[in-house]
Chain A
Amino acid sequence: MTTTDPRAVEEDLRQRVTDFLAAHDHTTTDRLEFLRARYDAGLAWVNFPVGHGGLGLPRSFQTQVEVQLAKAGAPDNNPRGNGIGLGMAAPTILAFGTEEQKKKFLRPLWTGEQIWCQLFSEPGAGSDLAAVSTRAVREGGDWVVNGQKVWTSSAHKAQMAILVARTNPEVSKHAGLSYFLCNMDAPGVDVRPLRQITGEAEFNEVFLTDVHIPDSQRLGDEGQGWKVATATLNNERVAIGGGGGGRESGMVGVLSKTWREHPERRGAGQHDKLMRLWVDAEVARVTGQRLRQKLAAGEPGPEGSAMKLTFARIAQEASGMELELLGDEGLRASDWTMKRPQHVDFTGRDATYRYLRAKGNSIEGGTSEILRNVISERVLGLPSEPRVDTGIAWKDLPR
C-alpha cells in the first residue's frame, strides 16, 4: 500500500481483513493454520514489512485489525503468552536479522509456536549488563556457550532465547559482546526455577554448559552485541512502561476499587494520598498515550525510560497504600510457594502479592537508578559518570 491518506488506508485494511476472513473460515480452519495464514496475509503486525507478517503501515493501524478480527470471533496468537518474543525479540530480529533469519524465526514467533525468553542478566551482571561473562567461543561453524543467566522469565516454556554472550574478552567490555538466537532445547541448557520475594517461581536461572549455537543464529555482527541488546532493552521499557490500558486500568484502579468498596476504612489523610495517586496514574496514562502517538511515527528511544520510572513509582505507592487501607485483611496473604504463573499479573491476585511483586517494577528492565542515568545522559545530554571500566580489556577489569 503506497497511499498515505489514513482513511484510504483504513478502508483498504478493513477490506483486506474482510477478504481474509472470507478465504479462511476460522470455525473450520485449524487455529495454527489460521494464524499462519494471517501472518502470510500481512495482517499479523501491520507495521512489519511485507513478507514478514506486515504491510509496512504505521503501528497505529494494528488496533483496527485486532478489533475487526476479534469481532468476527477469530482466534488470536495469545500475545500475553509470548511477551518477550513479540515485544522484544521480534523488533530486534527485524532490525538486525538477515533476510533468512527473519524468514525462519518471525512467523513461528508471532503464531506462538515458538515462545521466546531473554538470556541477558547474570548474577555478576545486572545493571552492568555489558559486563556479562557468559562466553561464546567459535568452534567450526558453531559457537560454544558456557555461563549462567538469571531472572529469565518463561525459560521453562520457551523454545527460543535471545542471548548476549562474550565473544572477545581481549577488548573492552562493550566491544566484546555478540547477540545470539539460542535454541532452549539444545543439549547443555539447564533451566531451574528461581524462588522470588512472592514465594512463587515466575523466573528461572539458566545454566549453559557447552551449548552449541550455529553461526547462522548470530544476530548482528560479531562484537555488535551491545548495540543489538540496547535496541531490545528500549523495546522492553516501552513494553513495561507503555501500558496502554484505559483510565484506572493499573494499580491505582485496583486501589480505587478498594476505596469504593470499603467506606468504613476511608480517612481524610488517605483520601489526599489516593487522589494524588489517581492524578499521577491518569497523567501517566495520557503521557503513555502521547508517547505511543510519537512512536507511531518512529522507533522507541530513551524517552520510554521516563514512563517506566513513573509506572514503577505509582505501582509501588498504590499497592503499599492498598495494604494500609485494608488493615488486618491486607495482612492475610495467599501461599504462592513455587507456583509457576501462567501470566505475570501485576494488578491481580491479592493485595500482599501485589505489594511484593511491585517491588520488582523498579528493578526489572533497568533499575530506576539506571533509568535516571539513561534519561540524564541520553535525553538531557548531561555528562556520564566517571568510569573505571572503559579503555581496558574485559579480561583485565577488576572483579
Chain B
Amino acid sequence: MSDLNLLYTDVEDDLRSSVRDLVAARSEPATVAAVYDGDRSVVDPLWRAIAGDLGLAGLLIPEERGGAGASAREAAVVLEELGRSVAPVPFLTSSVVATTVLLAAEPGGPADELLAGLAAGERTAALVLPLSAGPGEEAPGFTVDGEGRISGSARSVAGALEADVLLVPVRTAQGTAVHAVRADDARVEPVVSLDMTRQLADVTLEAAAGQELLGASAGGDAVRSGLEVGAALLASEQYGVAQWCLTTTIAYLKDRRQFGRVVGGYQAIKHRLADLYAAVESAGAAARHAAATTAAGDADSVVSTAVAQSFVSDVAVKAAEEAVQLHGGIGMTWEHPAHLYLKRAKADQIAFGTPAAHRARLAELVDLPVA
C-alpha cells in the first residue's frame, strides 16, 4: 500500500481533452440515443476515430508489441470520458479486456499479429463471456474437438457485435485455453439490451475453426487477468457516468424554478446533492486508486479493484437515479439523455461482477469471513 499518485498528470489531462473534444465533435446524446432505434451509424466512425486517429486502442500494449506503451492510468482516463459521454464504442471490451488477455501470451507467438492489429486500430476483439462474469467467474461455455474445431455458446456478450475476432475461452481437461475465432465464423445474434450503448449479443460456435493463442496452462490466468483489469477500469467509466449525472443535475437545478425559487435552493435538494457530491468524489478516488494500483502492478490491486467495484458501481447507479428523480418529468422522457446514463449505470453495476460479488471476494481477501 504505497502512497500512489491519485491525481492526474499533465499527460493524462491532455489525453482527457483530446478524447473529450473528439467525442463531443462526433457524438451527442441524440445520435447516441439512435442506437436504441437500430441506427448504429454513430458507432463505427467514432470507434475508428478513437482507436485509429487518436491511437487509443493500443494504450495498454507495449511499444515493442506495436502499442503506445501506456498504462491502466491512461486507459482509465479514456474510460472516464467515454462514460461521461456514454459513448457506444468497444474500448473497454477490446482495448482493455481482450487486450489484457492477449498480453498474457508470450511475445513471438501467434498472438503478436492480432495485438499489432488491435494496436493499429485495424482490428477489434472481444472476450466471449457474459458481461456479468467477474474475476473468478470465468466458466467457459466452449469445447474443442480433436480437429481443433470449437463449439458452444455464451449469452449476453459485450463487444461481440463490434468485434471482428472473438477470443473464446475453451474448457479442456488441463484448464482453460483461449482460441481466436473470426467473427464471421460465429453466429453473433444481437440482443435487445437494457443498455443499447453497449449492446449485448449471444454467440454460438458450431465446429468453428480457431487458432489457439493461449494454451491450457496459461489461458485461465489470462482470462482472469482480463476480467480483473476490466473490473478495475470499469470503475473509471462508472465514475465518468456518475460525474455527468451530478454536474448535469446541478446545472439543471440552478436553472429550474418552482414556487418562485430556483429548485436547487431548497435545502432538501441541496443536502441530497451534497451527499451525492461526497459519494461521487469518493468514487473518483476509489476508481483512481484501482487504476493506479493496476498500473503499478501493486499487490494491492485485487483489493482496490474489489473495493472500487463494490463502491463505484452503486454510486453510479445512485447518481443516475438521482438525476432522473431530480430532473422531474423531463428526466422520465426519451428526449432527455438521463435515461442513457441510467441504463449504462445499471448495466455497469452488473458487469464484471455485482457489487455483492466483489464484497464476497473482498471478504476473503481481507480476512473477514462470513461465518
Contact = CB atoms under 8 A, between A and B. Distances in A.
Interface string B286-323: 10110000000000000110010011000000000000
Instruction: Name the residue in A274, A283, A375 with the highest tally of chain B Cβ atoms < 10 Å from its Cβ.
Output: A283
Contacts of B285: 283, 286-287, 289-290
Contact of B265 (A260, A310, A383): A383
Contacts of A274: 368
Interface in B348-363: 356, 359-360, 362-363
Contacts of B286: 283, 286-287
B311 A280 contact: yes
Contacts of B359: 272, 275-276, 279
B367 interface: yes
Contacts of A303: 281
B282 A289 contact: no
Given A278-B362, A383-B262, A246 B1 contact: yes
B1 A271 contact: no
Nearest to A282: B307
A340 interface: no
A372 B311 contact: no
B271 interface: yes
B311 A382 contact: no
Contacts of B356: 272
A268 B371 CA distance: 7
B26 interface: no
A66 B304 CA distance: 28
A275 B368 contact: yes
B103 to A, nearest CB: 27
B250 A278 contact: no
Interface in B186-221: none
Nearest to A306: B278
A279 B310 contact: yes
A389 to B, nearest CB: 16
Interface string A321-332: 000000000000
A260 B368 CA distance: 7
B362 A266 contact: no
Contacts of A272: 356, 359
Interface in A243-270: 246-247, 256, 259-260, 263, 266, 268
B269 to A, nearest CB: 8
Interface stretch (B3-11, B82-90, B122-130): B3-11
Contacts of B6: 286, 289-290, 293
Contacts of A377: 270
A371 B288 CA distance: 25
Contact of A382 (B5, B7, B254): B254
Instruction: Name the residue in A260, A303, A375, A381 with the highest tally of chain B Cβ atoms < 10 Å from its Cβ.
Output: A375
B7 A294 contact: yes
A383 B266 CA distance: 8
Instruction: Name the residue in B270, B310, B371 with the highest tally of chain A Cβ atoms < 10 Å from its Cβ.
Output: B270
Contacts of A309: 274-275, 278
A383 B264 contact: yes
Contacts of B173: none
A62 interface: no
Given A259-B368, A290-B7, A379 B277 contact: yes
A131 interface: no
Contacts of B254: 381-383
A263 B371 CA distance: 7
A283 B282 contact: yes
Contacts of B116: none
Contacts of A380: 250, 270, 273-274, 277
Given A286-B289, A306-B278, A376 B273 contact: yes
A385 interface: yes
Contacts of A77: none
B271 A372 contact: yes
B25 interface: no
B174 interface: no
Instruction: Name the residue in B5, B282, B311, B369 with the highest tally of chain A Cβ atoms < 10 Å from its Cβ.
Output: B282
Contacts of B7: 290, 293-294
Contacts of A306: 274, 277-278, 281-282
Contacts of A164: none
A101 interface: no
A254 to B, nearest CB: 13
B362 A310 contact: no
Nearest to B280: A306
A278 B306 CA distance: 12
Contacts of A373: 267, 270-271, 274
A260 B370 CA distance: 10
B307 A279 contact: yes
Interface in A358-399: 369, 371-373, 375-377, 379-386
B311 A283 contact: yes
Nearest to A275: B359
Nearest to B304: A286
Interface string B112-128: 00000000000000000
Nearest to B303: A282
Interface in B233-284: 250, 253-254, 261-262, 264-265, 267, 269-271, 273-275, 277-278, 281-284
A284 interface: yes
A309 B278 CA distance: 8
A376 B271 contact: yes
Contact of B281 (A247, A279, A287, A381): A287
A372 B275 contact: yes
Contacts of B363: 271, 275
A379 B7 CA distance: 19
A237 to B, nearest CB: 12
A393 B52 CA distance: 66
A385 B265 contact: yes
Contacts of B270: 372-373, 376-377, 380, 382
B368 A279 contact: no
Contact of B282 (A284, A293, A381, A383): A284
Contacts of A263: 369, 371
Contacts of B360: 275
B249 to A, nearest CB: 10
A310 B315 CA distance: 14
Instruction: Name the residue in A259, A274, A380, A383 with the highest tally of chain B Cβ atoms < 10 Å from its Cβ.
Output: A380
B367 A260 contact: yes
Nearest to B358: A279
Instruction: Name the residue in A274, A286, A372, A383 with the highest tally of chain B Cβ atoms < 10 Å from its Cβ.
Output: A286
Q: Which 3 pairs of residues, A with B, have the shortest CB-CB distance? A: A376-B270, A383-B265, A372-B274
Given A279-B307, A379-B277, 9 more contacts: A260-B367, A263-B369, A283-B282, A284-B282, A293-B5, A309-B278, A371-B274, A376-B271, A382-B250
8 contacts: A279-B311, A283-B285, A369-B271, A375-B278, A376-B273, A376-B277, A382-B273, A386-B261
